[in-house]
Structure 1
Amino acid sequence: MKRSFIREILEAIDEETISFAGGLPSEKLFPRDDLKVATLTALDNPKIYQYGISNGINELREQIASRYTKEGFPTTKDNILITTGSQQAMYILAKFFENKDITIEEPSYLGAMNIFRLNHLNMFGVKLEDDGINVEEFEKSFKETKLAYLIPDFQNPSATTYCDEKREEIAKIVKKYDGILIEDSPYSELFFDKKNIAISSKLPKNSFHLGSFSKTLVPSLRIGWIRADEELLKSLMIIKESIDLHSCGISQYILAEYLKDEEKYERHLQEIRDDYAKKANYFSEQLNKIMPEFKHQKPKGGMFLYGSFEEGIDTFALVQECLKKKVVFVPGNQFYIDKVPNPEIRFNYTHSNFEQIEKGIKLIKSCL
């Protein structure tokens, strides 16, 4: 096991470094005043200081369930397990499926891959295309593994979004082989045009749908969740209880208080979408202008822009040179099972301003 390259990079840089590496939200968009009010109100509740139930406080689970139901995915609080960030959700699931085979996208989320390795899951990668995973290859793999981990909405790292047709096909394949889909969905609310229907909504008894408030509110509260069939969730409770008994009660009560005003939360989400859309467009424009040899698709949502140089450029070697000039990104080899050097890069555009974006791309160009 090795540490996450991204976490190591975050520790190695200083305030002068322009970082396109970590998936950091914009700090200017944190609803600090509203969260301050919610916090002061929540702190008056004596229950906030006591142990809580393992699956999460009822009010917060009901609020999350209500959002699913309004989107056409019928859900009750009994279908929700609160976790300490969606990273813990993945760890719980990886521990539950320990030593199994699992089908994943390539490239895929580095944090999930590390968790799967730690729990001895044997990963089989299937190539991502511009509109989602290669369905034919997915079926070949899933027929054998009967377990898959996918990020269909603004995928990390590729920013790919699955088309409606592929979502239907994936759901049919999972049902056909009576397998399980782990659908990771931390970016689904960060759409620029429309929100897509979760694949899990088409197979509620054969899926775990993962969500998080880290990307839409603030990461430090560390609150995520798993949405699944009640019987499936019962199987996870022993693992959850053995890790931490329950997720932070203070964070849960603050969130529950904040989410009482749904219109306020929706306005906040729209503010994030508008800001990120402008940054994604600007980042893409500057790449085309300053570094046209880097081929990419403009994101339709999420937090990342992904692309590639022509063969012959090792972006893992490139980032070492860029670090000396105080600009960093994540080289594409980190998102593959074998980690063989390749010419791909993942850029995070949400945490930088326009000036930093232009300057950072120019510094990378100078290192080529």
Structure 2
Amino acid sequence: MKRSFIREILESIDENTISFAGGLPSEKLFPREDLKTATMKIFDNPKAFQYGLSNGITELREKIAARYTKEGFPTNKNNILITTGSQQAMYILAKFYESKDITIEEPSYLGAMNIFRLNHLKMHGIKLEDDGINIEGFKKSFKNTKLAYIIPDFQNPSATTYSDKKREEIAKIVEEEDGILIEDSPYSELYFDKKNISISSKIPKKSFHLGSFSKTLVPSLRIGWIRADEDLIKSLLIIKESIDLHSCGISQYILNEYLEDEVKYENHLQDIRDDYEKKANFFCEQLDKYLPEFKYQKPKGGMFLYGNLEGVDSFALVQKCIEKKVVYVPGNQFYIDKIPNGEIRFNYTHSSFEQIEKGIKLIKSCL
């Protein structure tokens, strides 16, 4: 096992470095006053400081379930398991399927790949195309693994969004092969145009749908969840209890209080979408202006922009960029074999407009 390149690089840079590396939300959009009000209210409730239910406080699970149901995906509180971020959700699932084979996208989320390695899951990477995973490759691999992990909405790292056709095809394959889909969905609310229907809603008994408030509210609360069939949730609960008994109760009560005003949360989500779309458009403009050799697909939402500098070792390039006080994540980190390539993942949500322009100009100078 090796540490995450992203976590290592974030520790090695200083406040003067322009970072396009981590998947950091914009701090100016954190609803600090509303969360402060919610926090003060929970101090009147002694239950907020007591041990809680392993699957999460009932009221919060009910609120999350209601959001699913409102979107046409019937869900109740027993379908929800609260986790310490969606990273823990993935760890619980990896432990549940320890030492099995799993079909994943390539490139794929680095954090998930590290968890799968730690739990001895053998990964089978299938090429990711502009509209989602290659279906022929997925079908062939899934026939053997019966288990898959994908990020259909504004994928990390590629920012790819699955087409409606591919969502239908994947659901059909999972159903026919009697397998299980792990659908990671931390970015689904960060759309610029429309929200896509989850694949899990088409196969509710054969899927785990992972969500998180880290990208839509604040990361430090560390509250995520798994939505699955009730019997599957009961199986995961045994693992969850052995790890931490339950996720932080104070965080759950603060979040639950904040979500009492659903309109306020919806307005907050729209503010994020508007801000991130402006940032994404500006990032693309600066790339076209200063780094036209970088070929990319314009994101439709999420937090990342991904592309390729053909003929360039992006891992070697980032070492030069660190010296110039600008960083990104080289694409080889998102592949199973980590062979050097020209691919790069940029995060555009955390930096200011001035930092975006300056950072891209610095990368051009290093190139």
> TM above 0.5, one fold?
yes
Alignment of 1:142 with 2:145, yes or no, is: no
Q: Report the Cα offset of residue 42 of structure 1.
A: 1.2
Calculate the TM-score normalised by the size of structure 1. 0.99
Amino acid aligned to 2:218: V
**Distance in 1, Cα, partners of 2:6 & 2:53:** 33
Q: Which residue of 2 aligns with 1:87?
A: 87
Q: Report the Cα offset of residue 341 of structure 1.
A: 0.3
Q: Which residue of 2 aligns with 1:326?
A: 325
SS of the equivalent of 1:364 reads helix
Amino acid aligned to 1:8: E
Q: Which residue of 2 aligns with 1:54?
A: 54
**Distance in 2, Cα, partners of 1:43 & 1:333:** 47
Deviations 1:130-153 (A, max 9, x none): 000011110000000000000000
Amino acid aligned to 1:4: S
Gaps of at least 5 residues in structure 2 are: none
**Distance in 2, Cα, partners of 1:49 & 1:309:** 52
Q: Report the Cα offset of residue 184 of structure 1.
A: 0.1
Deviations 1:21-74 (A, max 9, x none): 000000000000000000001121110010001000000000000000000000
**Distance in 2, Cα, partners of 1:218 & 1:176:** 39
Residues 212-227 of structure 1 aligned to structure 2 (within 5 Å): 212-227=212-227
Alignment of 1:45 with 2:31, yes or no, is: no
Amino acid aligned to 2:362: L
Q: Which residue of 1 aligns with 2:364?
A: 365
**Distance in 1, Cα, partners of 2:333 & 2:231:** 35
**Distance in 2, Cα, partners of 1:256 & 1:189:** 18
Q: Over aligned residues, Cα RMSD in angstroms? A: 0.4
Deviations 1:210-234 (A, max 9, x none): 0000000000000000000000011
Q: Report the Cα offset of residue 98 of structure 1.
A: 0.2
Deviations 1:296-327 (A, max 9, x none): 111100000000011x2100000000000000
Residues 280-291 of structure 1 aligned to structure 2 (within 5 Å): 280-291=280-291
Alignment of 1:24 with 2:24, yes or no, is: yes
Q: Report the Cα offset of residue 351 of structure 1.
A: 0.2
Residues 333-348 of structure 1 aligned to structure 2 (within 5 Å): 333-348=332-347
SS of the equivalent of 1:339 reads coil
Q: Report the Cα offset of residue 11 of structure 1.
A: 0.2
Deviations 1:126-184 (A, max 9, x none): 00000000111100000000000000000000000000000000000000000000000
**Distance in 1, Cα, partners of 2:184 & 2:127:** 17
Alignment of 1:256 with 2:260, yes or no, is: no
**Distance in 1, Cα, partners of 2:40 & 2:109:** 36
**Distance in 1, Cα, partners of 2:129 & 2:21:** 23
SS of the equivalent of 1:214 reads coil
Alignment of 1:115 with 2:115, yes or no, is: yes
Q: Which residue of 2 aligns with 1:129?
A: 129
Q: Which residue of 2 aligns with 1:272?
A: 272
Identity %: 83
Deviations 1:70-111 (A, max 9, x none): 000000000000000000000000000000000000000000
SS of the equivalent of 2:125 reads strand
SS of the equivalent of 2:2 reads coil
Q: Which residue of 1 aligns with 2:354?
A: 355
SS of the equivalent of 1:113 reads helix
Amino acid aligned to 1:167: R
**Distance in 2, Cα, partners of 1:73 & 1:133:** 23
Q: Report the Cα offset of residue 247 of structure 1.
A: 0.1
SS of the equivalent of 1:61 reads helix
Amino acid aligned to 1:287: L
**Distance in 1, Cα, partners of 2:295 & 2:57:** 46
SS of the equivalent of 2:55 reads coil
Gaps of at least 5 residues in structure 1 are: none
Q: Which residue of 1 aligns with 2:294?
A: 294
Q: Which residue of 1 aligns with 2:188?
A: 188
Q: Which residue of 2 aligns with 1:34?
A: 34
Alignment of 1:71 with 2:65, yes or no, is: no
Amino acid aligned to 2:156: N
